[in-house]
Chain A
């Protein structure tokens, strides 16, 4: 999973987090694994109901997951999950 620079301090300075997987897993499963050690990072991406924050965009294979199956979108082994903040605010 690729993190924007602004979130990297919350992942021990890492820009890239990996989740071991032999078969396809969901985005939710990936998030659970990679943010498990970093609860402050987890809270930046999802609120306490588990919902992705409104202006957090998650891409799998170049597609934003809200246009796919949301958190249930499948990620194949080796595939990248991109976290990008949306263009918002003023």
Chain B
């Protein structure tokens, strides 16, 4: 395989029926390969570019053969699976892994640390680059656990946000809400004040909210954003309290919440009309960006279709770390869009794929080797 020396970009697309990889020298012209893991759903992807290596981690789940985690250190040419499984509920928990919802490589300063959020609702931490994970006992043994529920898509610990110290960790789960640890994950407290759970008898419970995604502001310590099951919120105090920032959006329902890799106050959402009408408002798909922490929103739809009735799921959107930041998302109709300019212009990367469940993008060196799907295509997952 020919290796170029220039940097290039990889966009990994996890779908209901396999993984596709797109590569580009410039984030404008993309070539697609795949499927890998055909007929298995890929609900989570983590691209770990720390330590001079690019490792793609994927959560894979076969309806027949169950869930597992694969990783590739050669950009999809070959896939490895720890024999005993990267994520296994320990004896005594009487639980079995159902799905890996989130794979989150930690900060540059903590190479090797990778977090995972799973179903049944649980958080896991690896210190060996995602080859073996350990169950977070503080959250697993939390007295609220019996009361956490499953949203329509399944019970998910889907967002894991770790601060620069590694001590402050926020986890969001559907349903359960936001939980915070100030001791690196040893103990956890719900932090949902101000977030409505209109579907419960008490609409302002301590926990039980159906938060769909949270993300941290890149540059303002303590600031978080949340897309809720109706409701878009910001917290400026480490989730002690939340206030609505939905004004100016065409709808407050949706699944996506993205923040800029470096710039304060910038976040993206993809509004859907409502709980009972999960389509883009008026059938017109658009991304909305704020550059002032939610005080105002700008509609971004250049390059997007005039009519689109498919929704965008919580992890089916991502940003890269380039300058300007790239924004990527995929629909349940199997179309994937990319923007190399923070959402000002979008172009189609792929279409007619199975339902897109997750996307992740990163700059990689050396350049991605072009070619057809690697052995992952033949691996029975």
Contacts and interface: CB of A to CB of B under 8 A. Distances in A.
A79 B315 CA distance: 47
The residue among A43, A53, A89 with the most chain B CB atoms within 10 A of its own CB is A43
Q: At the interface, is chain B mostly helix, strand, loop or mixed?
A: loop
B378 A55 contact: no
A17 interface: no
Contacts of A45: 65
A16 to B, nearest CB: 17
- Residue in B64, B85, B94, B378 with the greatest tally of chain A CB atoms within 10 Å: B64
Nearest to A38: B83
Interface of A is mostly: mixed
Given A55-B64, A85-B64, A86-B64, A48 B380 contact: no
B220 interface: no
Q: Which of A40, A53, A89 has the most CB of B within 10 A?
A: A40
| Interface size bracket, A side | 20 to 34
Interface string B48-74: 000000000000001111101000000
Interface in B92-106: 94-97
Given A6-B380, A7-B380, A9-B378, A51 B64 contact: no
Contact of A88 (B64, B85, B96): B64
Interface centre among B39, B81, B85, B380 (most CB of A within 10 A): B380
Given A7-B380, A9-B380, A39-B83, A48 B89 contact: yes
Interface in A31-90: 39-40, 43-45, 47-49, 51, 53, 55-56, 85-86, 88-89
Contacts of A55: 63-64
B378 A49 contact: no
A10 B83 CA distance: 10
Given A6-B380, A9-B379, A49 B94 contact: yes
B88 interface: yes
A78 to B, nearest CB: 28
Nearest to B62: A44
20 contacts: A6-B380, A7-B65, A9-B378, A9-B379, A40-B68, A40-B83, A43-B68, A43-B84, A44-B62, A44-B66, A48-B89, A48-B96, A48-B97, A49-B89, A53-B65, A55-B63, A85-B65, A86-B64, A89-B39, A89-B64
